[in-house]
Each structure stands twice: as C-alpha cells, then as structure tokens.
Chains A and B, each alone.
Chain A
C-alpha cells in the first residue's frame, strides 16, 4: 500500500509498505494527502537488498558513494537496515527494514529516528527550517516559543488555545522568510504536562493508562517511554501559517524572569537546537560529509544558519523567558501578559 503526505506542499513524501504501522498513521495523520506525482522522498518499509556497488566503507558499518548511503544498526532490542539514495540529485528514496515492524519500539523508531529527521533535512534543502518550538497565532501574527524538551512548549501552546489563539505546533513549526507554518503532529501526553487538556480530552480509563505509562517511565529510568497521543487538530483550532511577530525563548529557571535576548544569541541557539534534533541522521550526515566534503550535504549546517538568518526578520524582538520547573497556571498568566502586551 501507498500513502501520500504533504506539509503545506512545501515537503511531500510517500510511504510504501505492506501495511502502514498504526503509530505512523497517527503520527502523520494531518499530512495525509491524495496521490502526488514526484514526492520529495519515498520511504519503502520492508526487506530489501542494498544496491551497494563500489562503496567506500566508513567505521566498518557505513557504506557510502556519491548520492548513496547504507548502514545497519541496532537500537534497544531492534535491528535495522537503512539505505538512502538520490538525496543529492533528486529522486530521493529511503529503504528501511527493521526486524520487529509493528512493535511499539520499531514504530516509534521509524518516526523519531528516520522519517522526522528526513522531513527536517528536506525542509532544510528547500530553504525552510523545522524550529524546535511551539507556536500560536492570533489575527495573523505568530508567537514562537523555542525551547528544549521539557521547558514548557506544549503546555504554553495548550494554554494559549484556551485564550482564543490558533495552534501552529507544540514541538516543531516550520520557519521561512518571516512566516511560521504549522507542523501538526500528535501532542505527546505525559503526566507532567497538559493536565487541563488531559482531563478534558481523555476518559477515566485513558487517564489511568497515562499514569501507568508514566510510572513505567520512572521505574525503568527512562528506558521505556511511551507517549499517549492526542491529535491537536481534534482538540484545538489550527491555522496554516501566520507572520512571525515575536520570539520567546523558554528556558528553565528558578522563577519567572524575562530579559532581552540579542539577535545573534538567538540565532546561535536556534541553530544548535536544530542540530541536536536531527538524532541519528546527524551522525550519518557527518560521515557522508567526511567522504564528500564539497557536497551540499556537508553544507547542511551552514545552510541552516542562512535559513534562520533570513527566516527571522531583523526587526523581530527576542526574549529570554525563564520558566520555573513547576509550570503552573500563574506561569502561563505571566507569559500571556508578555504576549498580549504586543498583540
């Protein structure tokens, strides 16, 4: 079977599989599209033979040639084979086989470690940046909340939707020349965030399951992390895009505090954050860049810097917002004061 996906016609991809794993379906539900000719990349799930040819061997496990990359690896209890072809010259094909397709780990792996980074990579090639941030908008103006995981992106965005703002994304949003485009993937519900939204949108049984998953996470020291998923398009009013108005960098601190963040600092942080979110692909890109230092793959990080510089107009202000570890309603009230002061 084949399923087509489109992110605002900016990036399109196709997944070809015997059957589409349930988690994948949930993850990209909001990008589903009718048939598209010549998608930006295609992912084939299932066994395959690498078309290895005369490759250079790096680290004994990476096989590279111009416009070709193959590796085998393992993650927790799963093993995989991954082949990338045509990522420089077009006709980008991805072949992925894992030994336990259909299991929770495998499906999460496919999204988080393969497809998500590929989406971000292709966005980068096209001059867009997947910023690790949440964002909301009102009257066509977008407010961007870049932050590390756990700093309060999701909670902040969820609270704003209750104040009449439109939801653009809670984990990533797409930035391009002063505009923020939505990136609607399921909200990761964990007991530590979204208490209001959990109560409103899950029944008692669901809430018990969430608490159990959270306990499992704690008991295994983070080894087993199972998110419950909630489609934001089902619970929030969303919009396609809005013009970037202000940037609020959320950073964990002792108490609520706001200060200016100089533009150069903001751009550097965004670039590092983008780099850190590429997961496995980051390493593969470095290996390929080592083999082909003049390729556009090797330029990925410079390109990101340029996209951010052009993406955030010079007159846009950026604030560092320190948010206490325990994010309460009071915290949100303070943030709202900041935002509505300018909207």
Chain B
C-alpha cells in the first residue's frame, strides 16, 4: 500500500492512499501541492477494496444511498465500474473509499485518475466551509500583483489562451481551477505535466494522436519533474468569460455582477454534472441533490445559495466581461486578447 500527502496552501491537508494496483500516476494530478506526511488530514481518499458502511441508508433514484453525513454510490456501464462511499459528505473530516476503474485506455494506464476526480468537488466544498471558493477557470498574472481570470466551458479555448499567454511572459496561478476569497486569489494548478507539455509542444489545446502518445509517455516516467513557475497569490483585476462563437472576429462586452456571479456558479455546477459521465465527479451534483432530498435543511441543500452570497461579495470590485472569440483560434485572436488585457493597466 502507498500514501501521498498534499497541502493546499494552509487551508487543507489531504492524504491519498491505495493498494498497489492504483499506484501508477498517483502524484501527477496534484503534484504542485505534494508535501511530506500530514498527521490529521481534512480529506482522506483510499483506493482499493472496501466494505461499504451503507446500512440504515435511504435510497434515492435507485442509485444513491444516503444517511447522515454519508453517501454511497455504485456505478457500472461499458465505460467504467466503481463503487464509492463518502463519510463526511456534509461536514467535518472527509473519508472517501473508492474501488473501481475506467474501462477506457487512460483508466487502464492510470487507475488512480478516476478516483482522484472526486477530490475536486470535495475540495471545493471543504474550502467553501472556510470562506474560500474553488472556481472552474484559469488565472494568470504578469507582474504578480494583478491577476486576470478566464472562465469558460470546456472547449472554449481557455487552455489555449492560457498557454499562449504563458509563452508571452505571463505566469500561472491556475490552469483549470483557482481559489478566490475576499481580497485575493490563490493558485490551484492541476496536472502540471499537461501544461508543461502544452507549453513546449502545442499551438492550441487541441491534442493530436501524437500529442496524446507523448503525454502518456511523459506521464509514465516515474520521477519526471515539471518546472512550472506558479504565482501563489495575487489580486484579481478582471474576469473574462471566454465564449467561442461561429462568427468571425473577437468582441468584448461588459457583464453585470449578477450575470457574472450566475455564470460562475452554473459553470461550477456543470463541472459536477457531466452527461453520460463515467467519473464519480460527474455525478457529484446528483449526489448533492439526492442528499438534499433526504436532508433538505442541510448545508448541502443550501450550498449553491451560500456560494452565490459569498461569490457576490468577492466579486464586488472586479469588472467582468464577455470575450467572444471565433471558432478558429489564431495569432490575431491571441494578439487581440493581449491588447484587451493591456488596456487594464
């Protein structure tokens, strides 16, 4: 059995452990936060066979078993098969047991990836309990003082914009997630190996077969390190919602705070609500609904309302914009974006 420990700034301690068949690639995702042993982790994730403690549960949707502060779910399809229980689903220390695998190639090569997916929504929840919000989006800075945030759905070219800004002197705060609180944002880089590879080899985030093969080869090298400079903390200056449209040209327009707040929340919700998911993280919104049905007065039931209030406060002095870019991403689009950011100085 193996153990890995992670420390998310001074906010959360995480322990991941598992049987040997889950070992490959175990540290790739959260390599940035890797640390020495943590003694009282806030979140524990174990991968391996386990006996669920799901007696006395109420069943919801023929699928989720729920009791106080606990949820169990078993899933099986041609894409994946797994079972998972979460103790501390609503409050307190979180203890997750997971056993299962993706039936697709990436899952066969790196079996720890599927269970690690669940950490993101769980971290999001625990951070909110401490007044920090984990947002789906990217953040960069040039001078360390001012940060620019890019939010978008999958396929919005957010990653492409980020890679290209990194090439032009910007520094990374987060590629897919970042943390926001009252007066600052904090780093949350995920999968540094992907960003590194992208920086060295790719024009846009669209991966060719060759890219995928190279990435997997890199991932399989046990002790490869990634020298990706990250700025841990900065002050948010502006938020751009990247919207990819079929028409030509780039366009920018102002968004109201109410609209921006709603969009950020919907974006976070959509990350937990993938249609036809194989990963437990894609069911997380369903988990929350199932739990809210059984416990309508719980923190889970009021999660999104609480999120909305908190986020509204944090966005107070940050201007928000919709940034429309064409389907075809090229250097003129990139230049236009950099020009827009310059206008904020």
Which residue of B76, B243, B286, B301 is within 8 Å of A56 (Cβ)? B243
**Contacts A53-B246, A268-B292, A273-B293; is A287 near B262 (CB within 8 Å)?**
no
Q: Do the beta carbons of B245 and A293 come within 8 Å of each other? A: no
Name A60's closest neighbour in chain B (CB-CB).
B155
The interface bits of chain B over 226-256 (1 if a CB of A lies within 8 angstroms of the residue's CB, else 0) are 0000000000000000011111000000000
Q: Do the beta carbons of A290 and B267 come within 8 Å of each other? A: yes
Does any Cβ of A come within 8 Å of B106's Cβ? no
User: How many pairs, one residue from A and one from B, have CB atoms within 8 Å of each other in the complex?
Assistant: 97
> Which residues of B have CB within 8 Å of A313?
none
The interface bits of chain A over 263-306 (1 if a CB of B lies within 8 angstroms of the residue's CB, else 0) are 01100110011011000101100110111011000100000000
> Which residues of B have CB within 8 Å of A149?
61-62
**Contacts A59-B154, A268-B296, A286-B273; is A252 near B245 (CB within 8 Å)?**
no
In the assembled complex, the Cα of A50 lies from the Cα of B32 at a distance in Å of 44
Does any Cβ of B come within 8 Å of A57's Cβ? yes
Q: Do the beta carbons of A252 and B59 come within 8 Å of each other? A: yes
Q: Do the beta carbons of A272 and B292 come within 8 Å of each other? A: yes
The smallest C-beta distance from A223 to any residue of chain B, in angstroms, reads 8
Does any Cβ of A come within 8 Å of B337's Cβ? no
Does any Cβ of A come within 8 Å of B269's Cβ? yes
Name B296's closest neighbour in chain A (CB-CB).
A268
> Which residues of A have CB within 8 Å of B155?
57-60
Q: Do the beta carbons of A291 and B243 come within 8 Å of each other? A: yes
Q: Do the beta carbons of A283 and B273 come within 8 Å of each other? A: yes
> Which residues of A have CB within 8 Å of B59?
148, 150, 252
> Which residues of A have CB within 8 Å of B196?
none
Does any Cβ of A come within 8 Å of B129's Cβ? no
Does any Cβ of A come within 8 Å of B297's Cβ? yes
Q: Do the beta carbons of A269 and B293 come within 8 Å of each other? A: yes
> Which residues of A have CB within 8 Å of B269?
286
The smallest C-beta distance from B230 to any residue of chain A, in angstroms, reads 27
**Contacts A60-B154, A268-B296, A275-B289; is A286 near B270 (CB within 8 Å)?**
yes
The smallest C-beta distance from B253 to any residue of chain A, in angstroms, reads 13
The smallest C-beta distance from B300 to any residue of chain A, in angstroms, reads 10
Does any Cβ of B come within 8 Å of A54's Cβ? yes
Does any Cβ of A come within 8 Å of B332's Cβ? no
The interface bits of chain B over 265-308 (1 if a CB of A lies within 8 angstroms of the residue's CB, else 0) are 01101100101100000000010011011001100010000000
Q: Do the beta carbons of B262 and A272 come within 8 Å of each other? A: no
Q: Do the beta carbons of A52 and B246 come within 8 Å of each other? A: yes
Name B259's closest neighbour in chain A (CB-CB).
A293
Q: Do the beta carbons of A57 and B327 come within 8 Å of each other? A: yes
> Which residues of A have CB within 8 Å of B258?
293-294
Does any Cβ of B come within 8 Å of A78's Cβ? no
Chain A interface extent, by class: 35 or more
Name A62's closest neighbour in chain B (CB-CB).
B153
The smallest C-beta distance from B245 to any residue of chain A, in angstroms, reads 5
Name B245's closest neighbour in chain A (CB-CB).
A56
Q: Do the beta carbons of B292 and A55 come within 8 Å of each other? A: no
Q: Do the beta carbons of A269 and B296 come within 8 Å of each other? A: yes
Q: Do the beta carbons of B262 and A276 come within 8 Å of each other? A: no
**Contacts A149-B62, A269-B296, A276-B61; is A290 near B246 (CB within 8 Å)?**
no
Q: Do the beta carbons of B275 and A289 come within 8 Å of each other? A: no
In the assembled complex, the Cα of A269 lies from the Cα of B245 at a distance in Å of 38
Q: Do the beta carbons of B296 and A293 come within 8 Å of each other? A: no
Does any Cβ of B come within 8 Å of A221's Cβ? yes
The smallest C-beta distance from A127 to any residue of chain B, in angstroms, reads 23
**Which of B41-86 touch A at CB < 8 Å?**
58-62, 76
- Can you offer 27 A-B residue contacts whose CB atoms are under 8 A? A54-B246, A55-B245, A56-B246, A57-B244, A58-B154, A58-B156, A59-B154, A148-B60, A148-B293, A149-B62, A150-B62, A222-B62, A251-B58, A252-B58, A264-B296, A265-B297, A268-B296, A268-B301, A269-B293, A276-B290, A280-B275, A286-B270, A286-B273, A287-B270, A293-B259, A293-B266, A298-B262
Q: A residues near B, CB below 8 A?
A: 52-60, 63, 73-75, 148-150, 221-222, 251-253, 264-265, 268-269, 272-273, 275-276, 280, 282-283, 286-287, 289-291, 293-294, 298
The 10 residue pairs across chains A and B that have the minimum distance between CB atoms:
A268-B296, A60-B155, A293-B262, A290-B266, A54-B247, A58-B153, A293-B259, A272-B293, A59-B154, A54-B246
